[in-house]
Amino acid sequence: MVEITQAKLSVNVNKIATIRNARGGNNPNVLQVALDCERFGAQGITVHPRPDERHIRYSDVIELAQHVTTEFNIEGYPSEDFLQLIETVKPHQVTLVPDPPDAITSNAGWDTITHQEYLTQIIARIKKTGARVSIFLNPNPELIPSAKATGTDRIELYTEAYATQFHQNPEQALQPYINTAQAAVNMGLGVNAGHDLDLHNLNYMAKNLPGLLEVSIGHALVCDALYLGLQNTIQMYLRALNTQNTP
């Protein structure tokens, strides 16, 4: 029997913290939502603490790390504070993102050619904690050899351009991602993906992107949960990741 492997769904719970922070109390409870996501089938929880703690706080990260039983993925820019948090928490995966502190959300991947040496040092430090490392990357196969040289285990493809162009022409929208993912797989790197993935564009990507191991999804999933409920929404995302399904 051929084993079908399906990319893992990691739910980014930053948006839950944004709603909580709007009122200053603890409703919704970020930890409870994360544990419920796991109970409903999510295979990972992602957080992206930012220096101003405007959504996920460093204290949330420490609490979540004690209770999350699936894969815990921490994303962020490798500032000294961020690196010390990683050394305290020792998550399963660290995803490095080159976003400036005031960015609303991540808006570019690493230039691994220019920053190869910097990333190599940072990744060596993170790997001492035992974490797997992934680096956020634009879809460009030319970045893969230098990405590999940094010592990273995986890349996370920045999928905003795919999501934007998907409705006009899915095949054309995905092609640069296929080329980059294939180059990564050929060099022994794992492939994650994230940003603006949703119930419309996820299944096509899951079916056609070589070597996809994991997606991290926040904004659209939380928006869908307003209408569909969290449990149902997670089930629908898992169905969309099943390459044998057409949702």
Give catalytic residues, as residue numbers: 48, 75, 195
Residue 194, strand partner residues:
158, 216
Q: In the window 125-184, what residues touch ligand PXP (CB under 6 A)? A: 136, 156
Q: How many residues lie near ligand PXP (CB under 6 A)?
A: 19
Which of residues 174, 216, 238, 241 is near ligand PXP by CB under 6 A?
216
Which alpha helices (H) appear in the chain, and where do they start and end? 14-21, 30-39, 58-67, 80-89, 116-127, 144-149, 160-165, 170-186, 202-208, 219-228, 230-241
- Residue 148 CA to residue 145 CA, distance in Å, equals 5
Specify the residue, 186 or 223, whose C-beta has the smaller distance to ligand PXP.
Answer: 223
The answer to whether 42 contacts ligand PXP (rule: CB under 6 A) is no
Q: Which is nearer to ligand PXP, 217 or 230 (CB)?
A: 217
Contact 93, 129 (CB under 8 A): no
217 binds ligand PXP (CB under 6 A): yes
* Dist. CA 121–CA 78, nearest whole Å: 11
In the complex, least distance from residue 175 CB atom to ligand PXP, rounded to whole angstroms: 21
Distance of closest approach, residue 192 Cβ to ligand PXP, in angstroms: 8
Residues 196-215: x where in contact with ligand PXP by CB under 6 A, - otherwise, as a string: xx------------------
Question: In angstroms, rounded to a whole number, what is the distance separating the alpha carbons of residues 45 and 56?
Answer: 12
Q: Count Cβ neighbours within 10 Å for each residue of 127-162 and write b for 16 or more, e otherwise.
A: eeeebbbbbbbbbbeebbebbbebebbbbbbbbbbb
Helix (H, G, I), strand (E, B) or coil at 102: coil
Nearer CB in complex with ligand PXP: 1/223: 223
Closer residue to ligand PXP in complex, CB, 4/104: 104
Segment contacting ligand PXP by CB under 6 A, of 83-91, 173-181, 203-211, 218-226: 218-226
- Binding region for ligand PXP (CB under 6 A): 12, 14, 48, 75, 95, 97, 105-106, 136, 156, 194-197, 216-220
